[in-house]
Structure 1
Amino acid sequence: MPVVCFSENQFYFPSLSRANEDGLLLIGGKVTPERVLEAYPKGIFPWYGEDNVPMWWSPDPRFVLFPPEMHVSRSMQKLARKETFTFTVNQAFKDVIAACASMPREGQHGTWITPEMKDVYTTLHRRGFAHSAEAWLDGELVGGIYGLRIGNVFFGESMFSKVSNASKFAFIRYVQELEQTGVQLVDCQVYTSHVETLGARLIPRVYFVHLLRQMCFPAQ
């Protein structure tokens, strides 16, 4: 059963075994930059629920991508060669997170990217933990992704696309760049068919947490 936090003074991250079948671990507790940085290496991430209540999740299994396993289709290879999109990193973080928050999602009403979440991740961006990758078309931002990098793990938060294949292009280019700089694991959190086509797969949570211990804080 998930833990309910009634007081900030009593806040703590419980054992992952307390998560329910949907992965909900903890209800309540203010989302702060410090707590986010503590949560991710433990296999936990925040989403806001209804009535603006913070909820902390740790789904089992976990949806991840190992960069060497990324699949780039022939059509995406062709798109890259045509140089239809321009790729950048950390050039429009606030615009990317705003676009992710405003994009309608199938089966969802509203967004979990609340103003509070935007503030937290923007602060983490200023501190060098949160990053964005962008796809541009004729000078307009048309796709992107943002998330956190801790050690050799990139924790993807959300993507958006205003034109076909823009988010895929940004994702592929960014994962390729991340791999070159030592990232060994991309956390995609929960299953989506969109990212599955790129090579992501489900792994047991216990294995995911084992990898985090090795990769978030690699030995110097």
Structure 2
Amino acid sequence: MICMYEKEKEQVVEACRRIAQDGLTVGSWGNISVRADDGKIAITPSGKNYNKTEKEDIVITSIDGDILEGHLTPSSERLMHYEIYRKRSDVKAIVHTHSVYSSILSVVDDDLPAITEDVIMILGRSVRVAKYAMTGTVDLAKNVVEALGDSNATIMKNHGAVAVGKDIDRAMAAAYVLEKSAKIYVMAKLLGKVSAVPDDDVDKLIGISEAYLKQWDRWKK
């Protein structure tokens, strides 16, 4: 039988391999999902090593958590994915990583300010640290959604990072920009001074960011 969600499964598997190979997570930590055009969710299974994850391991669920296809248990953080999708109709993909520098900010409870232009244009005015809650809980899901707001990334206190996008490519780009920017911020703090982009210029960059991102097809080539 031909699966209706082959594309979404392939996207999730490819993203899994990339974040594992590039050191944004280790083993099975973190999770990734893609929302199909019909609203169904393709999500990573719980406890599966990303370097060994195959298309048949990806679970298809409804936004209410009903398992529609797959032989494994969906990610333990699925409630967070569902809550983001409910609150953000523009989001079609979510990438949760345990990347090192983003996790440092999660431990010191430091929001990431608008320190570079790509933070503003890819992630938003800033990246907030969500209030702590136990992994896999409804409280965690709600805290993440609150901190995320209308931006494309947030940091989960004492946990890791979450990036979202209009497709998997943008969500992955947000995850990488977040980790790079978190590293810049941590290193700048070690040197003793952090200079953010002026507020007036932040507003201008927000204003032009969507037009800039319309070039996305060229970014991927």
More helix by share: 2
Larger relative contact order, structure 1 or 2 (CA cutoff 8 Å, min sep 6):
1
TM-score by length of 2: 0.27
More strand by share: 1
TM-score by length of 1: 0.27
